[in-house]
Amino acid sequence: MPVATQNAQAGPSRHRNRQELSQQQDGSDDERLQKPQVLAEEGWTIETFTDLPVVKTLPTLAFIAGLVGKCKELITRIEEGMEKAMAAATLIEEASPDHEMLEQFEKEFRSGIERKQQMLIKIQVLESMHMQLRQNQDLDNPMGFYKQETARREQEYRGKTLRQKFKEDQDYINFRTAIWEVNHEGTAGPPTTAYLPREDEDGSDDEEIEVGMQTQNFRCPITLRPYVNAVTCVDCKHSYSKDAIMSILSNGRKRSVKCPFSGCNTAVTATKLQPDKELQRKTDAFVRRQAEREAREAEDDED
């Protein structure tokens, strides 16, 4: 909701505040930053952050930025839980494909996505407040704005169908892809809608924009063998075994080489390469599964 609407709703009790505010506004920007309204020092928290007009001051901006930081910390913790649920789900799929316990971990993972979305909504609202202050728009009722705006967006999210929430959600796609990859390495899986029942609110044009799962390949494009110390180019997101790409780069004493992935013309340099622990972990799991499969097949042959 724009701040102007908030102003219109402000009651008489705010007139005094507005007068104080306009007096403060006579000062230059620099003066306002030098003599900030003391907020954090007076024990301001999100709960006491109410009914006072807030103008752009360094403590206010720092306070809001601090809240955004807290939300981001919580997202990291939620993601840790989601990673555990995903790891458990892939182990179950490995031991017993389509086992009913998979459903339980999927629910857990989805609820992680929902909680993460709630935190992202809070961050969006806080960042919009931060932005308004930076543009010298005073916030008449910051807590009211924060509460109303987060509630409105959360309600909107809760009203979505499963498909609307998860069909194109990158975390959900990763989850489904990880499970698919357990038994179908290198092949594209079904679209996520295969796992998300259609609800009445889902339009009939839904099928047309289905997103197919693109499974990862666990082989380096240079060595054609499973990745060893996988690194990923920050520009094109293609990955290579570290020694392989580094030897191409330094053998010719070149600063950059064309990405070895066919069809990719990105100039790869050593500084663009980042270790990809997640890809390496998946590759190791893939190598282990493949070895186990071969051992089983060898046993079957003996029988």
Shortest separation between residue 273's beta carbon and Zn ion, angstroms: 11
Shortest separation between residue 264's beta carbon and Zn ion, angstroms: 3
Shortest separation between residue 199's beta carbon and Zn ion, angstroms: 39
Q: Does 236 bind Zn ion (CB under 5 A)?
A: yes
| Tokens 């005094």 -> residue | 16
Shortest separation between residue 222's beta carbon and Zn ion, angstroms: 12
In this complex, which beta carbon is closest to Zn ion, that of residue 223 or of residue 266?
Answer: 266
Q: Coil, strand, or helix at residue 303? A: coil
Query: CB neighbours of 227 closer than 8 A, spacing ≥ 6?
Result: 218, 219, 220, 239, 240, 241, 279, 280, 283
**Cα–Cα distance between 241 and 295 in angstroms, integer?**
26
**Cα–Cα distance between 143 and 282 in angstroms, integer?**
44
Shortest separation between residue 244's beta carbon and Zn ion, angstroms: 14
In this complex, which beta carbon is closest to Zn ion, that of residue 147 or of residue 238?
Answer: 238
**Cα–Cα distance between 54 and 178 in angstroms, integer?**
47
Q: What binding mask, one character per residue, do residues 259-288 give for Zn ion by CB under 5 A, x or -?
A: x-x--x-x----------------------
Q: Coil, strand, or helix at residue 131? A: helix
- Select the residue interacting with Zn ion from 70, 84, 160, 238 (CB under 5 A): 238
The residue range among 41-49, 66-74, 220-228, 232-240 that interacts with Zn ion, by the rule CB under 5 A, is 232-240
In this complex, which beta carbon is closest to Zn ion, that of residue 45 or of residue 214?
Answer: 214
The residue range among 18-26, 114-122, 189-197, 234-242 that interacts with Zn ion, by the rule CB under 5 A, is 234-242
In this complex, which beta carbon is closest to Zn ion, that of residue 70 or of residue 238?
Answer: 238
User: Both tokens of residue 219?
Assistant: 């082989």
In this complex, which beta carbon is closest to Zn ion, that of residue 68 or of residue 257?
Answer: 257
Shortest separation between residue 259's beta carbon and Zn ion, angstroms: 3
Render 27-84 in DSSP notation, one character per residue. Answer: S-HHHHHHSPPP-GGGT--TTT--SS-B---HHHHHHHHHHHHHHHHHHHHHHHHHHH
Shortest separation between residue 266's beta carbon and Zn ion, angstroms: 4
The residue range among 107-115, 199-207, 209-217, 229-237 that interacts with Zn ion, by the rule CB under 5 A, is 229-237
Residues 182, 189: contact at Cβ < 8 Å? no
In this complex, which beta carbon is closest to Zn ion, that of residue 5 or of residue 274?
Answer: 274
Q: Does 157 bind Zn ion (CB under 5 A)?
A: no
Distances (CA, A) of 233 to 156, 237, 243, 253: 37, 5, 14, 19
The residue range among 211-219, 220-228, 235-243, 289-297 that interacts with Zn ion, by the rule CB under 5 A, is 235-243
Query: CB neighbours of 218 closer than 8 A, spacing ≥ 6?
Result: 185, 186, 226, 227, 279, 282, 283, 286, 287
Question: Under the rule (CB under 5 A), what is the footprint of Zn ion?
Answer: 236, 238, 259, 261, 264, 266
